[in-house]
Amino acid sequence: MPGPETPSPVTSSLSVSLRPRVTVNYFHEIALKGLNRRMFTRQAADNLKRAIQDTDSRIVERRDMGATLSYPGDAKWPFMAERLERLFGVERFARAYPVTLSMDAIRETVGALLALVALPKTFRISASRADKSFPLTSPEINAQLGAWVRRRTGMTVDLDDPGLDIRVHLRDRTAWLSLEERRGLGGMPIGVSGRVAALLSGGIDSPVAAYRVMSRGCPVTFIHFHSFPLVEGSSREKAKELVDMLTRYQFRSRLHLVSLAEIQKRVLLAAEPDYRVVLYRRFMLRIAEAIALKEGALALVTGESVGQVSSQTLENMLAINAVMTRLPVLRPLVAADKEEIVRMARALGTYEVSIQPDEDCCSLFVPPHPVTRSTPETAAAQEKDLDVEGLVSEAVANAELWRAAWPERGPAG
């Protein structure tokens, strides 16, 4: 509930029983679905049950576009709220109080709630009326209840930036009152879309790209390329830390750690220096596709943005992508600039980890002037003396698998 500003002048001798529940509303995008809406809401409910499994709460009612949960108690409410804030498919949630559908009962309960908190200077009534049997419209509820609160407390109305937002939702012959409603992530529930495999470099961009496809309901398998033992192994530890952070949005993750060291040594001897980065990237996509197919993924995901570095010119992207034979490559950040991506990374919380120094595999043996306009044909010609199939098979076979789980107490899988 809102923090203290001035002591509440409201006292209540009313015999109201304040027994909160937790109301969860699914993202409005699900409401746009047709005959398959039930599949989306069922997955959202399954994810919700999984997220609260150790919070001393449970689902007591499932609705078409949401659910009602038992309240875990004040001590565990912050813990539970953090879980719900990380759950894709949730539009909003609240600690709410069910009330008989009458203005007398609504006013009585609002008065009892206001007696429990220190009141700010301003407030707003936000009513929504899904139950059309109630005789007052939402604006009429706002006006009548707002006037009553103003007379009772002395607070003034501020519709733009209120210190206290009193929410009144009318549905199923019940009014649900809340002084604290929180926004969820929105997006689609994890699991409603196909699995993808994301190339996780350890830099700023790729964690954001992975998060963006998660928001569309895609579970993500991660693939990280490193150059150990040619360099120290800090990039692997950074990749694990990033996967741990991203797993908080999808329950379980698998991270494949792939050494590119042998391939880099062979490329160093067989190809012109200017083509090394393009060839590294071509090998990465081949290896990632092989791992993705083993994982049942339907696409690869990268953090590429057009023109950001030499390997991300359209010409080089075409030359690199030419090695893909079965899976599409998704690039959620393809038109984003660096400032946008940094802003997203900061909001996600991955930025500080991503900027920690490490030796990225693509920075090893990089020439002063990498080619920026290769073609599929010239890149293939640079690989003519390499055992491409053998190197890919060896890298896939020697990849290490690391697992992460959220909530942390649950088993990895």
Residues 176 and 211 in one domain: no
252, part of any domain: yes
The conformation of residue 283, written as its DSSP 8-state character, comes to: H
Domain that holds residue 131: 21-183
- DSSP string covering 88-119: TTEEEEEEEEEEESSHHHHHHHHHHHHTTS-B
Residue in the structure block whose two tokens are 């108690």: 73
Residue 259 counted as domain residue? yes
| Residue 107 shares a structural domain with residue 238 | no
Tell whether 108 and 211 lie within a shared domain: no
The token pair at 92 is 């909003």
CB 285 within 8 A of CB 320: yes
- pLDDT at position 14 is 46
Q: What CATH number is associated with residue 168?
A: 3.30.2130.30
SS3 state at 256: strand
Residue 13 belongs to a domain: no
Same domain, 213 and 338: yes
Residues 170 and 318 placed together within one structural domain of the fold: no
| The two three-digit tokens of residue 355, written as one number | 């900027």
Which residue(s) pair with 29 in the sheet? Answer: none
| Token output for 262 | 């042998």
Tell me the C-alpha distance between 144 and 39, whole Å.
Answer: 40
99/110 Cα distance (integer angstroms): 10
Q: Are 348 and 340 in contact (CB under 8 A)?
A: no
Is 12 part of any domain?
Answer: no
> Looking at residue 312, what DSSP letter applies?
G
Give me the amino acid identity at 17: S
25 SS3 class = strand
Which of 8-17, 27-36, 96-105 is predicted with the least confidence, judged by mean pLDDT?
8-17
Q: Are 127 and 218 members of one domain?
A: no
Torsion region of 217: left, alpha or beta (phi above 0 gives left; psi -120 to 50 gives alpha): left
- 2 within a domain of the structure (yes/no): no
Task: Work out whether strand 181-183 and strand 90-100 pair parallel, antiparallel, or are unpaired.
Answer: antiparallel
CATH of the domain at 352: 3.40.50.620
Contacts of 159 (CB under 8 A, 6+ apart): 124
- Banded model confidence at residue 12, pLDDT cuts 50, 70, 90: very low
Q: In terms of domains, do 320 and 385 share one?
A: yes
DSSP symbols for 313-359: SHHHHHHHHTT-SS--EE-TTTT--HHHHHHHHHHHT-HHHHTS---
Same domain, 370 and 261: yes
* Secondary structure (3-state) at 27: coil
- Structural domains in the chain (count): 2
Nearest residue to 255 via CA among 218, 225, 215, 300: 225
Is residue 306 domain-shared with residue 207, that is, in the same domain? Answer: yes
Angle at 261 between CA 310 and CA 389, to 5 degrees: 85
Would you place residue 4 in the very low, low, confident or very high pLDDT band (cuts 50, 70, 90)? Answer: very low
Residue 51 has pLDDT above 80, yes or no: yes
Whether residue 70 is found in the same domain as residue 216:
no
Q: Where are the beta strands (DSSP E) in 115-163?
A: 122-129, 156-157
Are residue 268 and residue 321 in the same domain, yes or no?
yes
pLDDT digits (tens, 9 = 90+) for 155-204: 999 999 999 999 999 988 899 999 989 999 999 999 999 999 999 998 99
pLDDT of residue 11 exceeding 50, the answer is no
Whether 206 is covered by a domain: the verdict is yes
List pLDDT tens digits, range 112-165: 999 999 999 999 999 999 888 899 999 999 999 999 999 999 999 999 999 999
Domain's final residue, options 183, 206, 234: 183
- What are the residues facing 145 on neighbouring strands? none
Contact status, residue 200 vs residue 253, Cβ threshold 8 Å: no
Answer whether residue 5 shows pLDDT above 70. Answer: no
Q: How would you class 336 by CB atoms within 10 Å of its CB: exposed for 0-12, middle for 13-18, buried for 19 or more?
A: buried
Q: Does 249 map to a domain?
A: yes
Return d(Cα 320, Cα 314) in angstroms, integer: 10
Domain contains 383:
yes
Percent helix, strand and coil across the chain, each rounded to 5?
40, 20, 40
Domain-terminating residue out of 133, 155, 183:
183
Q: Which of 156, 183, 210 is the last residue of a domain?
A: 183
Q: Are residues 35 and 171 in the same domain?
A: yes
Mean pLDDT of 67-78: 93
DSSP β-bridge partners for residue 25: 66, 92
Residue 169 is given by DSSP the state E
CA distances, 62 to each of 83, 84, 124, 184, 217 (Å): 18, 16, 29, 18, 20
Quote the mean pLDDT of the chain.
Answer: 90
Higher pLDDT, 243 or 16: 243
